Amino acid sequence: MTSVSSSGEFHHQHHFKSAEHQYASSKQGIWLFLCTEILMFGGLFVGYLIYHSLYPTVFKNGSETLDWKMGAVNTIVLLVSSFTMAAAINYVQRGLHKIAAIMLVITIACAGAFMVIKYFEYSHKFHVGTVPGKFSLVDPSCGAGGKRADCESKISALLKNPAELEKNHVSAEEVSRLKAVISQPKWEMFYGFYFVMTGLHGVHVVAGALLIFWVFIKTLNRKVGPEYYTPVEGVGLFWHVVDLVWIYLFPLLYLVG
Amino acid sequence: MSSAHTKTEHGHTDHNYLNHGSGIWSWMTTLDHKRIGLMYFATVATLFLIGGFFALGIRLHLAKFGAEPLLDPDTYNKFMTFHGAIMVFMVIIPGIPAFLGNFVLPIQLGAKDVAFPRLNLASYYVFIAGALIAASSMVFNQVDTGWTFYTPYSTSKTSNGVILLVLGAFTMGFSSILTGLNFIVTTHKLRAPGMTMDRIPLMIWALYSTSIIQILATPILAITLLLIGAEKTLGVGIFDPDLGGDPVLFQHFFWFYSHPAVYIMILPAMGVISELITAFSKKTIFGYRAIAYSSVAIAAVSFLVWGHHMFVSGQSTLAGILFSLITMFVGVPTAIKLFNWISTMYRGTVTFDAPMLFALGFMFLFTIGGLTGVFLASTGMDVHFHDTYFVVAHFHYVMVGGTLMALMGGIFYWFPKMFGKMTSDLGGRISWVLIFTGFNVTFFPQFVLGAMGMPRRYFDYLPEYTNLNQISTIGSWLIGLGFLVGLITIIHGILKGEKASDNPWGAKTLEWQTSSPPPHENFTTTPTVTAGPYDFR
Ligand code: HEM
Ligand SMILES: [Cu+2]
C-alpha cells in the first residue's frame, strides 16, 4: 500500500485535473450534504416551535423535569470533542500522525461519554414514565381503544407508591414536577419531541463516532497526511454539525421551557 | 467546438464503455456514470411495469365490465397505494435525472465522469435497497393509505406496513439527495475548458435546478417520514389528534416536499424537451437565457406554493389567497419555456422523427395539464374539484403526459449514443401514436368525471359515471399496448438495430461529438468549447 507521508505522492482520481481540484470538489459535496442535515433537523425545530406555542405550559412543565445538569455536562463534553476534532484535522494537515490519532481517540471517547450520559437520562425517564405517547400508559392496550381518558399514566401510578418512588431515585422535588406535568392534558407531547429530537441526534452521534473511527484507522495507516486530508476534514465538519445541533437542542429542551 | 473523436478505419470493434470490461460483475461494480445510468434504466423500467400492472388492475376494476367487482375494497385501496407510490417514488422522480441525467450530464459538460463516481454507484444501491424495503411491504403487510400517507389514518388506524413503505421512501430519498449533490458539484467543477455557465446545454440547467430542489426539499420529506415511523412505533403523537398532535401539520410538511417534488419530475423533462426541439428544428434555441433562468425560477417558486394542496384543510383565507396567487406565478416561467420552444420551431427545418413526436406530445399534454392546474389553483374552483377525478386527470396529464412523454422522447433520442445502434423509427412512431391517443382517451374523460363530481380513490361510483369510466379503461389498454410496442422497439434496437453514426440527428451538444457509444472516459481527448451549445447556422 502506498503511504501518504509528507514525502509521498498523492494520486488524484482520473477525472480531476489536480489534487486541489479534487479537494475543492469534495469539500463542496460535503457542505451540500451538511445543508441537507441541517434542513432535516430544521423540520423538527419548526414542529417544536409550533407545538411550543400551542401548549406553552406543557412544554414548560416538561422542560423542568429534564436534568439540566446532565444536559450541561453533555454540552461541555461535545464542545471538548469539537475542539479535539479540530485539533486532529490540524495535526493531520501538519503530518503529526501520532498526536492526531490521540486527538481522534479523545473525540471518540467524548462521543461515548455523551451516549452514556444520555443512557442515564433515558433510562430514568423509562422508569418514571415520562415517555412518548404509547408507552406513557399503564395498560398498553389502552391507547389503541381511543379511551385514553380512562387509562392511568405510569407516572400517576408511580406517584401513589412511595416504595417505588424511592427505588427509582425520585426526590420530593421531582415528585412535585411530575405532578405538574400530568396536571396538563397532552403532556406526552413534550416527551414525543424530546425523544425524537434527542434520539435522531443520538443516532448522528453514533454515526459520527463510527466515521471518526474510520479516519482514525486511516490516520494510523498514514493514508491521510499533509497532501490529502479530505476524509478527516469532511468527518470533522460532520461532527461540528452534530455538535451544533446539540448546541440548539440543549437550551431549547432543557432551559427555555 | 472541437470534434474529439478519431475513428478507427478498420472493421474491428472499437473500444467503448459497453465492452470496457465484461460480465455481470463489471456492471455491478462499475463507476462509469453511463453504465450506472443504464442500470437505473433497467430498474426503473421494471418498476414501471409493476406500477403499470396495478394501474391496469385499478382501471379494469373501475370499468365494471363483469357483474362481480374485480377487486374487493380493501384490495382496491392497496392497488391504488402501490400504483401511486411506485410511480411517484420509484419511476418518475428517479426516471429522468438518475437515468438520462446520469448518462448525459457528464458528457454534455465534457467531463470524464461525475464528481463522485463511487457515491454515484452507492446511490444506485441505496435506491435498490429503498425499493426493496418498500416492496417488502407488499409481502408482509400491505398498505392502503394512498401514496400520500395522510395522518391520522396512516399513523393510528392502518397496518404497520406503513413503516416499511415509509422507510423505503426515506431510503430512496437519500439516493435522490446524493444524486442531486453529485450533479451540482459536477456542474460546478467539471466543465470542459471553455464551457462557461452560459454555454451549458439547457438539459444541464434543468438538471441543476432539479438538483437544488432535491437537496432542499428531500430532507423535509425525510423528517416527515421518520416522524410517521416514530408515530407508529412510539406513538409520539406529533400528527395524531388523539394525542394532541396536528394532522394538518403533516400535510404542510408533506406538501412542502411533494409540491417541489412535482418539479423534480417535470424540470428534467423540460430539459429533455429543450434538447429535442432544437435538434429536430435544426435551429439555435430561441431565448437560451430565458429558458435557463426560468428553470431556476421554477425551482425557487416551487417552494412557496405547497398550500394549494390544502385549500380545504382549514387554512386561513389569507393563506389560501396567497398560495393561490403564488401558484399562478409558476405559470409565468413555464409559459416562457413553451413560447421559446415554439419560437425555436418557427422557421426551423422541423423533422418528425419519433423523439420529436414525443416532444410535441409533451407540449400538447403538458399544456392541458398546466392549464387545468390553473383551475385547481383558484381557491373557489378547487373547492369543487378537490379530490375528484379532475385532480386525477390533471396530475396524470402533467406527470405522465409531461414526464413520461419526455422520458420516452429522451430514450429514443439518446438511444444511438447509449447503444451505438438505431431504433426502428416506425416502431417509435407507432408507440407514440398508441400512447398519445390512449392517453387522451384514458384521462380526458376523467376531467369530465371530476367535473361531474366523481370522487377520487373510491372503490365504487354512481351509475351515471359508468360510460366514461369504461372509455377510460379502454384507453388504458391502448397506453399499455403503446408502452409494449415501445419496449419491443427498444429491445429490438439493442439486439438488431442498425449501426448508428456518431451524430445521427446532426445535433450540436457535446455528447454528439464523441463516438457512439462513447469510450470509457467519454472523450479520447478533452474537448475545448468555443461556442454556445446549439450553434446551428
Ligand atoms: C396506464 C396508465 C395509467 C392508468 C390507467 C392510471 C390510472 C390511475 C388510477 C385509476 C388512479 C386512482 C385514482 C384515484 O382514485 O385517486 C391512479 C392514481 C395515480 N396514478 Fe396513475 N395511472 C396510469 C399511469 C400512471 C403513471 C405512469 C404514473 C406516474 C408516472 C401515475 C401516477 C399516479 C399517481 C401518483 C396516482 C395517485 C394515487 C393517489 O391518489 O394516491 N399513474 N392512476
Ligand atoms: Cu402542488
At A13-40, the pLDDT tens digits run 888 988 889 999 999 999 999 999 999 9
The C-alpha atoms of residue B500 and residue B514 are separated, in whole angstroms, by 12
- Please say whether the dihedral angle defined by the alpha carbons of residues B288, B291, B294 and B295, taken in this order, is positive or negative: negative
**Three-point CA angle B131, B132, B137, nearest 5°:** 100
Do B185 and A29 make contact, defined as CB atoms within 8 angstroms? Answer: yes
CA atoms within 13 Å, Cβ hemisphere of B426:
2
Mean pLDDT of B442-463: 95
Q: Is B471 in the pocket of ligand 1 (CB under 6 A)?
A: no
Q: What is the pLDDT of residue B10?
A: 40
pLDDT of res. B355: 97
How high is the pLDDT of residue A147? 54
Neighbours of B15 (CB within 10 A): 13
Angle, alpha carbons B126-B127-B128 (nearest 5°): 90
Q: What is the pLDDT of residue B236?
A: 87
A35 touches chain B (CB under 8 A): yes
| Interchain CB distance below 8 Å, B234 and A24 | no
Give B3's pLDDT tier (boundaries 50, 70, 90): very low
pLDDT of residue A6: 38
In chain A the beta strands, taken as DSSP E runs, fall at: none
- Residue A70 to chain B, least CA–CA distance (Å): 23
Q: Tell me: pLDDT of B6 over 50.
A: no
Instruction: Decide if B148 contacts B255 (C-beta within 8 A).
Output: no
Atom of ligand 1 nearest to the CA of B458: 15
**What's the rounded mean pLDDT across residues B437-443?**
97
pLDDT in tens, B74-126: 999 999 999 999 999 999 999 999 999 999 999 999 999 999 999 999 999 99
| pLDDT of res. B291 | 94
Closest residue on chain A to B112 (Cα): A15
pLDDT for residue A228: 92
pLDDT at B11: 39
Kindly tell me the burial class for residue B517, based on how many C-beta atoms sit within 10 Å of its own C-beta (0-12, 13-18, 19 or more): buried
DSSP state at residue B17: T
> Which residues partner with B441 through β-bridges?
none
Residues with C-beta atoms within 5 A of ion ligand 2: B 259
Within 8 A by CB and 6+ apart from A12, the residues are A18, A19, A21, A22
B434 lines ligand 1 (CB under 6 A): no
Q: Is the pLDDT of residue B273 over 70?
A: yes
Residue A144 has a pLDDT of 54
Q: Could you state, in order of their start, the residue ranges of all structural domains in chain B?
A: 33-512
Query: A138, A154 in Cβ contact below 8 A?
Result: yes
* Phi, psi torsion values for B394, nearest 5 degrees: -55, -50
Ligand that lies nearest to the alpha carbon of residue B484, given by its number in the listed order: 1
Between B3 and B46, whose confidence is greater?
A: B46
CB contact under 8 A, A192 and B238: yes
Look up the ipTM and state it.
0.90
Q: Name the residue facing B243 among A37, A44, A133 (closest C-beta).
A: A133
Amino acid A166: pLDDT = 83
Measure the CA–CA gap between A10 and A5, rounded to whole angstroms.
Answer: 9
Burial class (CB in 10 A: 0-12, 13-18, 19+), A106: middle
**Of B190, B227, B242, Cβ closest to residue A148:** B242
Q: How many helices (H) and strands (E) does chain B have?
A: 17, 0
Distance (angstroms) between ligand 1 centre and the Cα of B217 equals: 23
Mean predicted confidence (pLDDT) in B479-492: 97
The answer to whether B219 contacts A42, with C-beta atoms less than 8 Å apart, is: yes
Task: Over range B494-503, report the average pLDDT.
Answer: 95
Calculate how far, in angstroms, residue B262's C-alpha sits from the geometric centre of ligand 2.
7
Q: How high is the pLDDT of residue A172? A: 85
User: Which pLDDT value is given to residue A1?
Assistant: 33
CA distance, residue B405 to nearest chain A CA (Å)? 31
pLDDT for B7:
40
Give first-to-last CA distance, chain A, whole Å: 55
Q: Which residues contact B537 (CB under 8 A, 6 or more apart)?
A: B284
User: Is residue B144 a contact partner of residue B207, using CB atoms and an 8 Å limit?
Assistant: no
Sign of CA dihedral B179, B184, B190, B196: positive
When CB atoms are compared, the residue of B184, B234, B243 closest to A32 is: B184
Q: To the nearest 10°, the Cα dihedral for B480, B483, B489, B494?
A: -120
Q: How confident is the model at residue B497 (pLDDT cuts 50, 70, 90)?
A: very high
**Closest Cα in chain B, distance from residue A99 (Å):** 31
Higher pLDDT, B509 or A141: B509
- Candidate from A86-90, A144-148, B476-480 with smallest mean pLDDT: A144-148
Question: Which of A26, A32, A134 is facing B215, going by the closest CB pair?
Answer: A32
**CB pair distance less than 8 Å for B219 and A185:** no
Residue B436's pLDDT is 97
Share of chain B above pLDDT 90, in %: 85
Any idea which of B30-34, B328-332, B450-454 has the lowest mean pLDDT?
Answer: B328-332
Calculate mean pLDDT across residues A38-62: 93
- State yes or no: pLDDT of B385 exceeds 90: yes
Candidate of B83, B99, B461 to mutate for ligand 1, largest count of ligand atoms within 8 Å of Cβ: B83
Q: Whose CA is nearest to atom 41 of ligand 1?
A: B146
C-alpha cell at B145: 393509505
The pTM score is 0.91
Give pLDDT, residue A139.
Answer: 55
pLDDT number for residue B1 = 38
| Nearest-CA distance B216 → chain A (Å) | 7
Neighbours of B135 (CB within 10 A): 18
Please compute, for residue B119, the number of CA atoms within 13 A of its CA located in the half-sphere on the CB side. Answer: 21
Please name the fold of domain B33-512.
Cytochrome C Oxidase; Chain A (1.20.210)
Question: Average pLDDT in the B38-59 region?
Answer: 97
Residue B421's φ and ψ, nearest 5 degrees, are -135, 160
pLDDT tens digits along A112-160: 999 999 999 999 988 888 888 777 765 555 555 555 556 677 788 788 8
* Integer CA distances (angstroms), B377 to A69, A77, B260, in order: 52, 51, 15
Centre a 10 Å sphere on the Cβ of residue A149 and count the other Cβ atoms it contains: 7
User: Lowest mean pLDDT: which of A31-35, A129-133, B5-9, B357-361?
Assistant: B5-9
Cβ-based contacts of B234 with chain A (< 8 Å): 132-135, 192, 195-196
Alpha carbons A155 and A188: distance in angstroms, whole number: 11
pLDDT of residue A194 exceeding 60: yes
Which secondary-structure segment (H or E) carries B512? none
Q: Which atom of ligand 1 is nearest to the CA of B480?
A: 1
Listed range (A3-7, A169-173, B183-187, B197-201) with the worst mean pLDDT: A3-7
Look at residue A4 in the predicted model and tell me its pLDDT: 40
Band (B536; pLDDT cuts 50, 70, 90): confident
